[in-house]
Amino acid sequence: MSQEFKIEIISPDKRIFAGSSDEAILPCFEGQVTILKDHIPLITFLRPGIIEIGKNEKFYTEDGTVEFSDNNLLILSTTIQSLKMINTEQKNSMIREAEKALSSNQISDKQKYIFNYKIETLKQIN
Amino acid sequence: MPSLDDLKKRIKSVKSTQKITKAMKMVAAAKLKKAQDNAEKGRPYSEKLQNIILNLTKSLSEGSNAPKLLVGSGKDKVHLCVVITADRGLCGGFNSNICKLAKSHFKKILKGGKELKIITVGSKGHDQIKAEYGDYIIYKKSFKEKKQITFNEANEIGKKVMELYDQEQFDKCFIFYNNFKNVITQIPQAEQIIPTFIKQEDKNKEKALFYEFEPEEDEILEDLLPKNVSIQILKAFLENAASEQGSRMTAMDNATRNAGDLVDKLTINYNRSRQASITKELIEIISGAESL
């Protein structure tokens, strides 16, 4: 029996990824989640982080919604990019922006939490 | 009876107009393909998102601490209408159809003694609505300089709507746009986006799967519903873009054909008057010769 399940990543503009794999690691809002085949139905949402599908495919995302049911993993995100598509310059400017936003006092704890993760994730990318 | 010269000029001018409409038709046809692709690509996202929300609401216990966006504020006093039109004209009844629908809706709202607020997106709609309902327009936006509408633009409008909602400026929100059915038919549509509208039949269709939620349902919904607003607006944008090109293509096709008919008619007229003047001259020559 194959241990693979279907994975689909959709952004409003296009279908970013469609395929199958035996493992997906998602940066969920309350911590990292690894999904394997026959996981129970799940709905959750993401914080900034890296989505790993199998061993080869990696995506950077800032937010998103995840649904898993009947061995179909569906990721809806408006800010998702394949890691290969992000260059250093882009990355640095994104970090700068996030740090600037973080330094202002008018943001809520939840936003702080999200920005911190964003910076951390971006710094890890190389 | 116009002179021969006049007819000649008219034929020439109609012909050059025909060239313009023909070119516009071809441009619209090329753009239509792209817009249609975009609209189709955008559909799965909004459909799936709706699906997730549907699943979520099914498992929400009745009337519990469901977010306001889903169940509404309980009041039905102020209606916000977002009217989405094109920025360019010459596309048949495209803009007027949306405005007609929106205006009849406005009338109903005002008749019911409710308050009305309007947001217009696209300059053509704004022009049409401002004459009659100018006082109700609270915000207008045009993406004229943007070549392609993406999520960012839709999000801008979505955020604006959410901001107003958080300030409790309105209770219900509707969007007006043209749904792209095919090249010839576009259906103007009104859709309720706040509170999130769920078709009753969908609700009863099947028993809910048992889902695990992380974090709690209402937290997810609170994150999801504002996004849904933007996505619904984006969907409307994309459908609208495709409809605009389709509508323009048909309109320009008709215009080209009409111009062709007109040229034919004018040419017949021209030939007849030419014939008449030749006959007249001949008669004059003959009668002149006879009198000698």
3-state SS class at B67: coil
Which of B141 and B56 is assigned the larger pLDDT?
B141
Does one domain contain both A102 and A79? no
Sequence-distant (6+) residues with CB within 8 A of A33 are: A25, A26, A44, B214
Assigned token pair, B214? 């992380």
Ranking B55-64, B103-112, B179-188, B228-237 by mean pLDDT, the lowest is: B55-64
Does one domain contain both A75 and A118? no
Mutate to test the interface with B, among A13, A15, A110 (most CBs of B within 10 A): A13
At B167, the pLDDT band (50, 70, 90 cuts) reads confident
Residues of B in contact with A14 (CB under 8 A): 41
Q: What domain count does chain A have?
A: 2
Does one domain contain both A12 and A71? yes
Classify residue B195: in a domain, yes or no: yes
Main-chain dihedrals φ then ψ at residue B150, nearest 5 degrees: -120, -170
pLDDT at B262: 95
A42 touches chain B (CB under 8 A): yes
The b/e string for B224-252 (b: 16+ C-beta within 10 A; e otherwise) is bbbbbbbbbbbbbbbbbbbbbbbbbbbbb
Q: Give the ranges where chain B is alpha helix by DSSP (H).
A: 4-59, 68-71, 94-111, 123-133, 151-166, 200-205, 217-290
Mean pLDDT of B108-132: 89
Ranking A6-10, A27-31, B97-101 by mean pLDDT, the lowest is: A27-31
Main-chain dihedrals φ then ψ at residue B87, nearest 5 degrees: -100, -10
Does one domain contain both A14 and A75? yes
CA angle B194, B144, B81 (to 5 degrees): 20
pTM (predicted TM-score)? 0.83
Does one domain contain both A65 and A19? yes
pLDDT tens digits for range A5-15: 999 898 887 78
Q: What is the DSSP string of B99-146?
A: HHHHHHHHHHHHHTT-EEEEEEESHHHHHHHHHHHGGGEEEEE--TT-
A78 touches chain B (CB under 8 A): yes
B34 touches chain A (CB under 8 A): no
Of A50-59, B23-32, B36-45, B217-226, which one has max mean pLDDT? B23-32
Smallest Cα–Cα separation from B259: which of B18, B91, B6? B18
**HEC profile of A18-36:** EEEECCEEEEECCEEEEEC
Mean pLDDT of B260-272: 95
Instruction: Please say whether the beta carbons of A58 and A83 come within 8 A.
Output: yes
Q: What domain count does chain B have?
A: 1
The 8-class DSSP code of residue A84 comes to G
Neighbours of A55 (CB within 10 A): 9
Does one domain contain both A91 and A49? no
Does one domain contain both A23 and A48? yes
Assigned token pair, A70? 């009947």
Q: Which of B38, B155, B211 sits opposite A42 (nearest CB)?
A: B211
Strands A31-35 and A42-45: unpaired
Main-chain dihedrals φ then ψ at residue A15, nearest 5 degrees: -85, 115
Mean pLDDT of A61-79: 87
What is the sign, positive or negative, of the torsion defined by CA atoms of A8, B228, B205, B176? negative
Mutate to test the interface with A, among B40, B156, B216, B227 (most CBs of A within 10 A): B227
pLDDT tens digits for range B198-216: 665 555 555 556 777 877 7
Please report, for the domain that includes residue A30, its CATH number: 2.60.15.10
| Interface predicted TM-score (ipTM) | 0.79
pLDDT at B16: 96
B91 part of the active site: yes
Query: Is the per-residue pLDDT at B81 higher than 80?
Result: yes
Classify residue B269: in a domain, yes or no: no
pLDDT at B207: 55
pLDDT at B7: 93
Hey, are the CB atoms on B214 and A41 less than 8 Å from each other?
no
Show the domain range for A113: 87-124
Does one domain contain both A9 and A63? yes
Does one domain contain both A76 and A91? no
Mean pLDDT of B147-167: 85
Please report, for the domain that includes residue B47, its CATH number: 3.40.1380.10
Residue reference for tokens 């503009």:
A13
Least Cα separation, residue B15 to chain A (angstroms): 41
pLDDT tens digits for range B50-79: 888 887 777 765 555 667 777 776 778 888
Does one domain contain both A77 and A106? no
Does one domain contain both A23 and A46? yes
Instruction: Please say whether the beta carbons of B248 and B24 come within 8 A.
Output: yes
Classify residue B186: in a domain, yes or no: yes
The b/e string for B254-285 (b: 16+ C-beta within 10 A; e otherwise) is ebbeebeebbeebeebbeebeeeeeeeeeeee
Smallest Cα–Cα separation from B262: which of B25, B6, B13? B13
Does one domain contain both A93 and A48? no
**Bridge partners (DSSP) listed for residue A43:** A67, B213
Classify residue B52: in a domain, yes or no: yes
Ranking A16-30, B21-35, B261-275, B277-291 by mean pLDDT, the lowest is: A16-30
A40 touches chain B (CB under 8 A): yes
Angstrom distance (rounded) from CA A116 to CA B13:
66
Classify residue B212: in a domain, yes or no: yes
3-state SS class at A104: coil
Show the domain range for B172: 38-251
At B20, the pLDDT band (50, 70, 90 cuts) reads very high
The 8-class DSSP code of residue A82 comes to E
Classify residue B132: in a domain, yes or no: yes
